[in-house]
A = this chain, B = another copy of it.
Amino acid sequence: MLFSSDNIAACAPEIMAAMAEANAGAARPYGADPATGRLEALVTEVFEKPAKVFLVSTGTSANALALACLCPPWATVYCHQKAHVEEDECGAPEFYTGGAKLTLLRGEAAKIAPDALADALRFTARAGVHNVQKGALSLTQATELGAAYTPDEVAALAGMAKAAGVPVHMDGTRFANALARLGCAPADLTWRAGVDALCLGATKNGAICAEAVILFEGGAAHDRAWEFELRRKRGGHLWSKMRFMSAQMEAYLTDGLWLRLAGRANAMADRLAAGLRAIPGVEIAAPMGANMMFPRFPRRGHRALQDAGALYYLWPGDQSLDGPDDEPLQCRLVCSWATTEAEVDAFVATLSGALAAKAA
């Protein structure tokens, strides 16, 4: 009953096998190996667009390096106030950009509200040299609250940004989960909707450590590919044995593995949500755009679950297991490609029993 995050899951067997295969004999370093050589063609095929593709081993570095190519030090990144780049990267965007600001925007389910972006764009740089300038828009797909932007929503926000001369970054740590939900083409959620640079995560969806920064042809970052390479090296993110990261990403994007893995995580989330919704006293707030949910139920349910060894976070984190039994607490539950039906069912049964016991 492990629902704390999708980053606790093991590596998918297909990706592990690719690692082993990549280990045959010697290979040229720093991306001059065959697997890395094949990657751009693969990405181009999957996204229906030529692109420059660079791998790094963490989502934080992918985001920060991409933003640094899009936003100068004296500008600001527009992002949701709950975005990972703001809340969970210890200032990596500030470090890599050389001290840019992040302008925090509100919006439901951690999706940026269009009017909030419009206001911010209008407000920025109103006093010329005294203010930081317009930098980049950063969208998180799926969001930190498990919602997915539709292609139209991406296009609307990206369009506002572009009209103001602002390039668009997408933090796609859980891009595959959103894509699997929406059922559209990868292109529809990215370059066709105005995204210039996509950070495509694999780590949380079955890999060991592989995140691709994709700079689409025609986008604002494409001709900064060499700058990106220099920033990556300077940031210490250029692997000598690159083949082992490329092998992961290649396996991930081949034959739809990424969507199968994401689909499995999403399906487990659906199963879990359905089970929870059937229990009296459980509410699930946010829409389900990916592989996580934020149910709210009485404290004694949480106690029973944790006694039974369930692993997950109260959300927000300042809630406490100490307090009245009946008071509802909210939590975050995340499913991964490795989540099993048995885990889901045990969780539901445990909670159901705990809440029924009271009712009885």
Contacts and interface: CB of A to CB of B under 8 A. Distances in A.
Interface stretch (A3-11, A34-42, A149-157, A278-286): A3-11
Contacts of A97: 99
- Taking the full assembly, how many copies of this chain does it contain? 4
Contacts of A90: 74, 129-132, 230, 233-234
A10 B90 CA distance: 34
Contact of A241 (B16, B209, B244, B318): B209
B89 A233 contact: yes
A317 interface: yes
A57 interface: yes
Nearest to A244: B208
Given A11-B244, A235-B61, A318-B122, A99 B88 contact: no
A241 B7 contact: yes
A98 to B, nearest CB: 5
Contacts of A200: none
A233 B129 contact: yes
Given A7-B241, A90-B74, A90-B233, A126 B318 contact: yes
Contacts of A62: 236
A127 B318 contact: no
Contact of A230 (B19, B129, B209): B129
Nearest to A64: B236
Contact of A240 (B73, B92, B94, B203): B203
A283 to B, nearest CB: 24
A26 B126 contact: no
A188 B102 CA distance: 35
A89 B241 CA distance: 16
A90 B233 CA distance: 6
Q: In which size bucket is the chain A interface? A: 35 or more
A174 interface: no
Contacts of A94: 73, 94, 99-101
A230 B133 contact: yes
A129 B229 contact: yes
Contact of A26 (B8, B99, B122, B238): B8
Nearest to A5: B29
B132 A91 contact: yes
A56 interface: yes
B2 A26 contact: yes
B91 A240 contact: no
A25 B10 contact: yes
Interface string A286-306: 000000000000000000000
Given A57-B239, A130-B90, A99 B98 contact: yes
Nearest to A8: B26
Interface in A301-322: 317-318
A59 B87 CA distance: 28
A100 B122 CA distance: 25
A212 B7 CA distance: 22
Nearest to A126: B317
Contacts of A56: 236
A127 B317 contact: yes
A95 B122 contact: no
20 contacts: A7-B240, A10-B27, A11-B23, A11-B244, A16-B23, A20-B20, A57-B209, A58-B238, A59-B240, A60-B238, A64-B236, A72-B227, A73-B98, A88-B131, A91-B101, A95-B98, A95-B235, A101-B102, A104-B104, A129-B238
